[in-house]
Amino acid sequence: MRKNFFALAVMLAVTLACAGTQPTAPATSAQNVETMVAATMQAWTVNAPPPTIIPTTPPANGPVVSFENVNFILPAEVATNALAGSVSAVNVTDGPMSVNTPEHIKFEFDGYALYGTFHEPHIIVYPAQEYAALNEGASRSIAKLQAILNGTAAPIAENLPFIASFNAGQLFAAQIQVIQFQSGSGVRFLTEYGQYFATANNHDLFYQFQGLTSDGKYYILAILPASHPLLAYDEKPETAPPSGGIPFPGYENESELTNYYTNVVNLLNSAAPENFTPALTSLDALIQSLEIH
Protein backbone atom coordinates (compact mmCIF):
# COMPACT_ATOMS: atom_id res chain seq x y z
CA MET A 1 0.00 0.00 0.00
CA ARG A 2 1.58 3.29 -1.14
CA LYS A 3 1.84 6.09 1.40
CA ASN A 4 2.87 9.67 0.77
CA PHE A 5 3.53 11.57 3.96
CA PHE A 6 4.83 15.09 4.44
CA ALA A 7 6.58 16.24 7.61
CA LEU A 8 5.18 19.51 8.83
CA ALA A 9 6.36 21.83 11.57
CA VAL A 10 3.91 23.10 14.15
CA MET A 11 5.77 26.35 14.89
CA LEU A 12 3.35 28.07 12.49
CA ALA A 13 -0.17 27.43 11.32
CA VAL A 14 0.96 24.35 9.49
CA THR A 15 -0.13 22.53 6.39
CA LEU A 16 0.38 20.02 7.47
CA ALA A 17 -2.09 1.90 8.78
CA CYS A 18 -3.37 0.43 11.36
CA ALA A 19 -1.81 -1.57 14.21
CA GLY A 20 -1.19 -5.28 13.84
CA THR A 21 -2.83 -8.05 15.73
CA GLN A 22 -2.11 -8.98 19.31
CA PRO A 23 0.34 -11.82 20.01
CA THR A 24 -0.81 -15.41 19.87
CA ALA A 25 -2.96 -16.44 22.80
CA PRO A 26 -1.47 -18.63 25.53
CA ALA A 27 -2.57 -22.24 25.31
CA THR A 28 -4.64 -21.89 28.48
CA SER A 29 -6.74 -19.10 26.93
CA ALA A 30 -7.08 -19.94 23.24
CA GLN A 31 -10.80 -19.27 23.09
CA ASN A 32 -12.76 -17.14 20.67
CA VAL A 33 -12.42 -13.65 22.05
CA GLU A 34 -15.47 -12.34 20.19
CA THR A 35 -17.86 -14.68 22.03
CA MET A 36 -16.03 -14.51 25.36
CA VAL A 37 -15.89 -10.74 25.45
CA ALA A 38 -19.52 -10.42 24.38
CA ALA A 39 -20.51 -12.67 27.28
CA THR A 40 -18.54 -10.72 29.87
CA MET A 41 -19.28 -7.15 28.76
CA GLN A 42 -22.84 -7.42 30.03
CA ALA A 43 -21.56 -7.44 33.61
CA TRP A 44 -20.53 -3.80 33.57
CA THR A 45 -23.06 -2.35 31.10
CA VAL A 46 -26.45 -3.47 32.41
CA ASN A 47 -26.91 -0.48 34.68
CA ALA A 48 -24.60 1.94 32.91
CA PRO A 49 -26.24 5.39 32.60
CA PRO A 50 -26.07 7.04 29.18
CA PRO A 51 -23.06 9.37 29.04
CA THR A 52 -23.44 13.08 28.58
CA ILE A 53 -22.57 14.64 25.24
CA ILE A 54 -19.36 16.63 25.25
CA PRO A 55 -20.09 19.79 23.19
CA THR A 56 -17.70 21.34 20.70
CA THR A 57 -15.28 23.55 22.62
CA PRO A 58 -11.98 23.58 20.73
CA PRO A 59 -8.83 24.68 22.57
CA ALA A 60 -8.13 28.40 22.70
CA ASN A 61 -4.65 28.00 21.25
CA GLY A 62 -2.43 25.53 19.45
CA PRO A 63 -1.11 25.10 15.92
CA VAL A 64 -3.57 24.40 13.15
CA VAL A 65 -2.94 21.13 11.33
CA SER A 66 -4.33 21.24 7.79
CA PHE A 67 -4.18 18.86 4.83
CA GLU A 68 -6.52 18.91 1.84
CA ASN A 69 -10.05 19.35 3.25
CA VAL A 70 -9.24 18.41 6.87
CA ASN A 71 -7.94 20.58 9.69
CA PHE A 72 -7.73 20.47 13.48
CA ILE A 73 -5.91 22.11 16.38
CA LEU A 74 -3.05 20.15 17.93
CA PRO A 75 -2.67 20.76 21.70
CA ALA A 76 0.99 21.00 22.68
CA GLU A 77 0.50 18.47 25.49
CA VAL A 78 -0.60 15.82 22.98
CA ALA A 79 2.15 16.04 20.33
CA THR A 80 4.61 18.47 18.79
CA ASN A 81 4.50 17.60 15.09
CA ALA A 82 2.17 16.05 12.57
CA LEU A 83 2.60 14.11 9.36
CA ALA A 84 -0.15 14.06 6.76
CA GLY A 85 -0.75 12.38 3.45
CA SER A 86 -3.01 10.44 1.15
CA VAL A 87 -3.06 6.64 1.33
CA SER A 88 -3.90 4.71 -1.83
CA ALA A 89 -6.95 2.46 -2.04
CA VAL A 90 -6.72 -1.29 -1.41
CA ASN A 91 -9.30 -3.61 -2.98
CA VAL A 92 -8.42 -7.29 -2.79
CA THR A 93 -10.80 -9.99 -3.94
CA ASP A 94 -8.78 -13.09 -3.07
CA GLY A 95 -7.60 -12.20 0.43
CA PRO A 96 -8.93 -10.86 3.74
CA MET A 97 -11.58 -8.24 2.99
CA SER A 98 -10.73 -6.46 6.25
CA VAL A 99 -7.74 -4.82 4.53
CA ASN A 100 -9.91 -3.15 1.88
CA THR A 101 -10.03 0.63 2.07
CA PRO A 102 -10.75 3.47 -0.33
CA GLU A 103 -8.20 6.22 -0.82
CA HIS A 104 -8.12 8.19 2.41
CA ILE A 105 -6.26 10.81 4.45
CA LYS A 106 -4.04 9.83 7.36
CA PHE A 107 -2.42 11.98 10.05
CA GLU A 108 0.44 10.64 12.19
CA PHE A 109 2.08 12.37 15.15
CA ASP A 110 5.65 13.09 16.21
CA GLY A 111 6.59 14.04 19.75
CA TYR A 112 3.50 12.29 21.10
CA ALA A 113 3.05 12.33 24.89
CA LEU A 114 3.69 8.56 25.07
CA TYR A 115 6.26 6.44 23.25
CA GLY A 116 6.96 2.71 22.96
CA THR A 117 3.27 1.80 22.92
CA PHE A 118 1.73 -0.98 20.86
CA HIS A 119 -0.36 1.42 18.78
CA GLU A 120 1.05 4.37 16.85
CA PRO A 121 -1.03 7.54 17.30
CA HIS A 122 -2.95 8.50 14.18
CA ILE A 123 -6.19 9.85 12.75
CA ILE A 124 -7.75 8.57 9.51
CA VAL A 125 -10.50 10.21 7.47
CA TYR A 126 -12.33 7.83 5.11
CA PRO A 127 -15.07 8.52 2.57
CA ALA A 128 -17.79 6.71 4.48
CA GLN A 129 -19.90 5.19 1.71
CA GLU A 130 -16.91 3.95 -0.25
CA TYR A 131 -15.39 2.37 2.85
CA ALA A 132 -18.65 0.62 3.78
CA ALA A 133 -19.01 -0.70 0.21
CA LEU A 134 -15.47 -2.14 0.17
CA ASN A 135 -15.27 -3.55 3.68
CA GLU A 136 -18.03 -5.54 5.40
CA GLY A 137 -16.53 -4.97 8.84
CA ALA A 138 -16.44 -1.24 8.25
CA SER A 139 -20.07 -1.33 7.10
CA ARG A 140 -21.11 -3.03 10.35
CA SER A 141 -19.06 -0.66 12.48
CA ILE A 142 -20.42 2.45 10.75
CA ALA A 143 -23.95 1.10 11.26
CA LYS A 144 -23.23 0.66 14.99
CA LEU A 145 -21.93 4.21 15.15
CA GLN A 146 -24.96 5.60 13.32
CA ALA A 147 -27.29 3.80 15.73
CA ILE A 148 -25.62 5.46 18.72
CA LEU A 149 -25.59 8.90 17.10
CA ASN A 150 -29.23 8.78 16.03
CA GLY A 151 -30.35 7.55 19.45
CA THR A 152 -31.58 4.08 18.49
CA ALA A 153 -28.79 2.39 20.48
CA ALA A 154 -27.38 3.33 23.86
CA PRO A 155 -23.68 4.30 23.98
CA ILE A 156 -22.68 1.31 26.10
CA ALA A 157 -19.95 -1.26 25.63
CA GLU A 158 -21.79 -3.93 23.67
CA ASN A 159 -23.10 -1.38 21.14
CA LEU A 160 -19.80 0.33 20.37
CA PRO A 161 -18.27 0.39 16.90
CA PHE A 162 -15.08 -1.58 16.41
CA ILE A 163 -12.01 -1.18 14.20
CA ALA A 164 -12.61 -3.15 11.02
CA SER A 165 -8.94 -3.77 10.24
CA PHE A 166 -8.10 -5.30 13.64
CA ASN A 167 -8.00 -9.09 13.84
CA ALA A 168 -8.95 -8.95 17.51
CA GLY A 169 -11.84 -8.07 19.83
CA GLN A 170 -12.40 -5.22 22.26
CA LEU A 171 -11.57 -6.46 25.75
CA PHE A 172 -13.27 -3.63 27.65
CA ALA A 173 -14.51 -0.08 27.19
CA ALA A 174 -14.24 2.74 29.73
CA GLN A 175 -14.85 6.50 29.77
CA ILE A 176 -17.49 6.19 27.02
CA GLN A 177 -18.66 9.59 25.80
CA VAL A 178 -20.53 10.91 22.80
CA ILE A 179 -18.51 13.85 21.56
CA GLN A 180 -19.26 16.57 19.02
CA PHE A 181 -16.67 17.99 16.66
CA GLN A 182 -16.84 20.93 14.27
CA SER A 183 -18.30 18.90 11.39
CA GLY A 184 -20.24 16.13 13.14
CA SER A 185 -20.22 13.81 16.13
CA GLY A 186 -18.94 10.45 17.31
CA VAL A 187 -18.12 8.32 20.32
CA ARG A 188 -14.84 8.02 22.19
CA PHE A 189 -13.72 5.54 24.82
CA LEU A 190 -10.65 3.87 26.30
CA THR A 191 -10.08 0.30 25.22
CA GLU A 192 -7.72 -2.54 24.40
CA TYR A 193 -8.02 -5.18 21.72
CA GLY A 194 -6.84 -8.77 22.01
CA GLN A 195 -7.16 -12.27 20.63
CA TYR A 196 -7.36 -13.55 24.18
CA PHE A 197 -8.12 -12.20 27.64
CA ALA A 198 -5.14 -9.89 28.14
CA THR A 199 -4.22 -7.61 31.00
CA ALA A 200 -5.28 -3.98 31.18
CA ASN A 201 -1.98 -2.19 30.71
CA ASN A 202 -0.37 1.02 29.51
CA HIS A 203 1.40 -0.62 26.58
CA ASP A 204 -1.89 -1.50 24.85
CA LEU A 205 -4.43 1.01 26.18
CA PHE A 206 -5.66 3.66 23.74
CA TYR A 207 -8.30 6.34 23.20
CA GLN A 208 -10.53 5.28 20.33
CA PHE A 209 -12.74 7.79 18.54
CA GLN A 210 -15.06 7.00 15.67
CA GLY A 211 -17.21 9.71 14.16
CA LEU A 212 -19.26 10.77 11.17
CA THR A 213 -19.64 14.17 9.60
CA SER A 214 -23.14 15.59 9.79
CA ASP A 215 -23.67 14.99 6.07
CA GLY A 216 -22.58 11.34 6.39
CA LYS A 217 -19.83 11.72 3.80
CA TYR A 218 -16.80 11.08 6.04
CA TYR A 219 -15.97 8.51 8.69
CA ILE A 220 -13.22 9.40 11.16
CA LEU A 221 -11.11 6.93 13.14
CA ALA A 222 -8.65 8.12 15.80
CA ILE A 223 -6.29 5.78 17.65
CA LEU A 224 -4.42 7.69 20.35
CA PRO A 225 -2.44 5.78 23.02
CA ALA A 226 -3.22 6.64 26.63
CA SER A 227 -1.98 5.58 30.05
CA HIS A 228 -3.12 5.62 33.66
CA PRO A 229 -0.79 5.47 36.70
CA LEU A 230 -2.59 2.46 38.27
CA LEU A 231 -2.28 0.13 35.26
CA ALA A 232 0.59 -2.29 34.70
CA TYR A 233 3.27 -0.83 32.44
CA ASP A 234 3.30 -3.74 29.99
CA GLU A 235 1.09 -6.56 28.72
CA LYS A 236 2.79 -9.48 30.50
CA PRO A 237 0.35 -11.23 32.87
CA GLU A 238 3.03 -11.56 35.55
CA THR A 239 3.64 -7.80 35.63
CA ALA A 240 2.05 -6.46 38.81
CA PRO A 241 0.22 -3.13 38.64
CA PRO A 242 1.19 -0.31 41.01
CA SER A 243 -0.32 -0.21 44.48
CA GLY A 244 -4.03 0.51 44.13
CA GLY A 245 -4.25 -1.19 40.74
CA ILE A 246 -6.17 -4.35 39.84
CA PRO A 247 -4.06 -7.55 39.76
CA PHE A 248 -4.60 -9.83 36.78
CA PRO A 249 -6.17 -13.12 37.97
CA GLY A 250 -4.77 -15.41 35.27
CA TYR A 251 -6.64 -17.40 32.64
CA GLU A 252 -8.11 -20.31 34.57
CA ASN A 253 -11.37 -18.89 35.91
CA GLU A 254 -13.72 -17.03 33.57
CA SER A 255 -15.75 -15.51 36.40
CA GLU A 256 -12.57 -14.04 37.88
CA LEU A 257 -11.74 -12.57 34.48
CA THR A 258 -15.23 -11.05 34.29
CA ASN A 259 -14.70 -9.44 37.70
CA TYR A 260 -11.25 -8.28 36.66
CA TYR A 261 -12.49 -6.35 33.63
CA THR A 262 -15.43 -5.00 35.62
CA ASN A 263 -13.03 -3.64 38.25
CA VAL A 264 -10.69 -2.21 35.61
CA VAL A 265 -13.56 -0.36 33.94
CA ASN A 266 -14.75 0.97 37.30
CA LEU A 267 -11.22 2.15 38.08
CA LEU A 268 -10.84 3.96 34.76
CA ASN A 269 -14.36 5.40 34.88
CA SER A 270 -13.73 6.88 38.32
CA ALA A 271 -10.45 8.52 37.29
CA ALA A 272 -10.33 12.25 36.61
CA PRO A 273 -9.60 13.16 32.96
CA GLU A 274 -6.31 14.83 33.91
CA ASN A 275 -5.05 11.63 35.57
CA PHE A 276 -4.48 10.09 32.14
CA THR A 277 -1.57 10.77 29.83
CA PRO A 278 -2.37 12.57 27.63
CA ALA A 279 -5.23 14.10 29.60
CA LEU A 280 -8.58 13.05 28.18
CA THR A 281 -9.56 16.72 28.03
CA SER A 282 -6.63 17.37 25.69
CA LEU A 283 -7.51 14.43 23.44
CA ASP A 284 -11.13 15.55 23.42
CA ALA A 285 -10.05 19.08 22.51
CA LEU A 286 -8.11 17.77 19.52
CA ILE A 287 -11.13 15.80 18.30
CA GLN A 288 -13.58 18.64 19.01
CA SER A 289 -11.56 20.97 16.82
CA LEU A 290 -11.70 18.62 13.82
CA GLU A 291 -13.23 20.22 10.75
CA ILE A 292 -13.81 18.55 7.38
CA HIS A 293 -14.87 20.79 4.52
- Taking phi over 0 as left and psi of -120 to 50 as alpha, with beta for the rest, 62 belongs to left
Residues 6+ apart with CB under 8 A from 222: 122, 123, 124, 188, 207, 208, 209, 210, 287
Torsion of CA 143, 144, 145, 149, to 10 degrees: 100
* pLDDT for residue 22: 36
* pLDDT for residue 128: 97
- The percent of residues above 90 in pLDDT, for the chain, comes to 72
pLDDT digits (tens, 9 = 90+) for 234-249: 999 999 999 999 999 9
In the chain, where does DSSP find H-type helix?
Answer: 33-45, 128-134, 136-149, 254-270, 280-288
pLDDT digits (tens, 9 = 90+) for 55-104: 555 555 788 999 999 999 999 999 999 999 999 999 988 878 889 999 99
| pLDDT-derived band at 182, boundaries 50, 70, 90 | very high
Q: How many CA atoms lie within 13 A of 206 on its CB side?
A: 27
DSSP letters along 224-262, please? EE-B-TTSBSSS-TTPPPPTTS-----SS-HHHHHHHHH
* pLDDT for residue 38: 39
Domains in the chain, number: 1
* pLDDT for residue 56: 56
Average pLDDT rounded to a whole number, residues 149-153: 95
* pLDDT for residue 62: 82
Question: Which range of residues forms the domain containing residue 113?
Answer: 3-292
